[in-house]
Amino acid sequence: IALADALALTVIVATHRAYIIGVPPEYARTLVDKNGPPNLIYRKNAMSVASPVLLWLGVVATFSSTYIMWRSHQHDDQFGPWSAEYKDEETI
């Protein structure tokens, strides 16, 4: 699910923006000018860009740790106390 979240958030930040509705455009521009940051265009907003970057780092770390765990299980199956090789050594 994290991979899907990272992909979705990346697309949203890269292609979308916030809108102010319910007021005339001139007043909306005044509100944006008075309030300053954050930028309404997500890809120009530093916090919006940082979110998918951190999420991608988490996805990569999760995939890496999963790979290490699988390799560890594979090693235990081959050389661990319940492996056939260990049982053969025990009977000698």
Residues 6+ apart with CB under 8 A from 9: 51, 52, 55
pLDDT at 91: 62
Of 16, 81, 87, nearest in space to 51 by CA = 16
Per-residue confidence of the chain (92 residues) as pLDDT tens digits?
Answer: 899 999 999 999 999 999 889 999 999 999 999 988 888 999 999 999 999 999 999 999 999 999 999 999 999 888 888 887 766 665 65
Given this model, what pLDDT does residue 58 score?
A: 98
What is the residue type of 12? Answer: I
- Could you tell me the maximum CA-CA distance found in the chain, to the nearest angstrom? 88
Taking the model in full, what pTM does it have?
0.76
Q: Where are the alpha helices (DSSP H) in 1-92?
A: 2-15, 25-35, 46-79, 84-91
Residue 82 has what pLDDT?
Answer: 80
One-letter amino acid identity for 15? T
Q: What is the pLDDT of residue 90?
A: 59
